Structure 1
Amino acid sequence: MAERKASRTAVLVCQGRAVADGRLAVGRFSDPIAIELLTAPEREMVGTARSGVMPSGFGARLEYELLKGTSEILAARTVAIDDVVRDRGHPQLVILGAGLDARAWRMKELAEATVYEIDQPASQQEKRERLGDRAPLAAAVHFVPVDFAKDSLGTALEAAGHDATIPTTWIWEGVIPYLTPAQVAATTAVVGEHSAAGSRLILNYATTSRLNAFGRRAVQRLLTLAGRDNPMANEPFRSAWSPETLRELLSRSGFDVTVDVGLLAVAHDLDMSIIERTRFLGSGRIAVADRD
């Protein structure tokens, strides 16, 4: 089925960043653009979560907890990824499955970089409507519509002007768990084919966790029982990876993993007081792979 609008998961991620802005990892995490990309009802949910006051009603409480947990994940993984992007300062940045990502509009470090955002055509159209006439901080932003069921990522990148002869930073955030192992392998191969020496790939992935899988299913069922929107309804988890298996996959495409860290460790390094909700961070990891 063709996607008709931005995925609800993309909206949830944007809401999570908006909840975290100015509240979590202060001084390290900031995303003031996120709230501006949300509709009035979506902002209302953010306001409730930022208030720190548990709402009444079973359904409202579930949404509150989901957003609080999401904000913790997003603060940790965004800091980890942004730090790596700044470290290299490559002239090209490709964001795979960009959703409502606002890096090109909030990171001054991208002032001399060309950003290529890869996503489903309908999702990109809605994002552009939400952005309105807001100018990016990046030197240029190219929206590259790709229907992964029928389009070639490599061909689309080339048509958009991506130069495979100069270094590129690739961000693959919040996408891999929703892809099959075969889809992950195929995309990794394309990335390798379009990466010059010095390129860097930043991946966010999930390890196998029965507790997290059970918790995710439980939250979805409870949201449905409460008559609330389930943002994960159409995006089931399809793959989990061990650091060793992921390292082997990336090696076949010419990348060497230089960093592989758990989001919980990142959160602790940021002094985020989230001990009571570590289950939201336990299986998530960030890997950084370089191509010599």
Structure 2
Amino acid sequence: MSRTAVMVCQGRAAADGRLAPGRFADPTAMTLLDPDDRGPVRQVRDEAPPGPWKERVDYETVRASAELIVPRTVAIDDAVRAHPAPQLVILGAGLDGRAWRMPELAGTAVFEVDRPDTQFDKRTRAAALSGRPPVYVPVDFAHDRLREALPAAGHDPAVPTTWIWEGVIAYLTEAQVRATLADVADRSAPGTRLIVNYQVPAVSTGVGRLLARLLVASTGRRSVWSREPWRSTWTPASMAALLSGHGFTVAADEDHLTTARALGTPTRHARSLRNGRVTVADRISG
């Protein structure tokens, strides 16, 4: 399982019932974590920072993840609820719990796309969750094509789809992003919505990730960011041009800092929040 996926899930578990109550909740997150990954989550939830340095780094990492993930999740969930569709495809799903936690998806065919090894682990973790599981579609974006995998899973390109592309684009090259988007466009009927989370280019982002790597290295461990580097960033203008070139019209594009301020959630990591964005784009016609 990707450590980034685990860290994001830890953030959601730490925030559940604590940050943006009434707007954010994820009761599935703690269940989807291994027991060893739940310790720092409980410490953050209890507001009990540990004394030892290694454990304190884990605590601060989870606390920061919670503060960064909540506005992103709320922005995406709101866009899903505002535009119901018969199908939902989550690209690079990781430990996403939407298929179980969102009652609005009860009548929706949910497909989760991710690497086969990640999905094998996810199935084991999700066994304790109640409700209808998603259809798992094994795809490695670096090597496989959606246009080949989705038909076999039962996705219907003739009816509208909501696509969620969250926490993935930064880890793909520009060529991989364009190839994946081409496949998405090919399988998007009029009435389809595409929700994209991406990172803007910023010197502060690179510096921040370097400092985070050094902080983890001080505990004698290898940073998740050294194993899973960012490979592409986009400006709002370049993202809009990319999407419009594939038949999508941008309906909204907002940075996480603006969302966090509206929610009243912590903004201690203002630069990171400002550099993350969610764009919502719709396909009006074929």
Residue 133 of structure 1, CA deviation: 5.0
TM-score, normalization: structure 1? 0.94
Q: Secondary structure at the match of 1:221?
A: helix
2:92 aligns to what?
97
Map 1:96-135 → 2, pairs under 5 A:
96-135=91-130
Residue 229 of structure 1, CA deviation: 5.1
Q: What do residues 173-220 of structure 1 show as CA deviations (whole Å, max 9, x unaligned)?
A: 000111111111111111111000010000000011111210111111
Structure 1 CA distance, aligned partners of 2:269 and 2:48?
17
2:226 aligns to what?
233
2:154 aligns to what?
161
Answering whether residue 283 of structure 2 is matched by residue 288 of structure 1, we say no
1:24 aligns to what?
19
Change (3 A) 1:275 1:141: closer
2:64 to 63, 69, 75: 69
Q: Please give the root-mean-square deviation of Cα atoms over the aligned residues, in Å.
A: 1.3
1:79 to 44, 52, 74: 74
Q: Secondary structure at the match of 1:71?
A: helix
Give the letter for the 2:82 counterpart.
D
- Percentage of matched positions with identical amino acids: 50
Contact 1:80 1:286 in 2 (8 A): yes
Answering whether residue 170 of structure 2 is matched by residue 181 of structure 1, we say no
Q: Secondary structure at the match of 1:177?
A: helix
TM-score, normalization: structure 2? 0.96
1:52 aligns to what?
47
Structure 2 CA distance, aligned partners of 1:58 and 1:22?
27
1:88 to 83, 87, 101: 83
Moved segments of 4+, more than 6 Å: none
Q: Secondary structure at the match of 2:250?
A: strand
Paired residues in the alignment total 284
Q: Secondary structure at the match of 1:34?
A: coil
Q: Secondary structure at the match of 2:224?
A: coil
Structure 2 CA distance, aligned partners of 1:283 and 1:277?
10
Q: Secondary structure at the match of 2:96?
A: coil
Answering whether residue 196 of structure 2 is matched by residue 203 of structure 1, we say yes
Residue 253 of structure 1, CA deviation: 0.7
1:36 aligns to what?
31
Q: What do residues 142-180 of structure 1 show as CA deviations (whole Å, max 9, x unaligned)?
A: 100012333221110011110000000000000011111
Flag structure 2 segments of 5+ consecutive residues without an equivalent: none
Which region of structure 1 is more displaced relative to structure 2, 178-187 or 122-131? 178-187
Give the letter for the 1:198 counterpart.
G
Answering whether residue 139 of structure 2 is matched by residue 146 of structure 1, we say yes
Give the letter for the 1:290 counterpart.
D
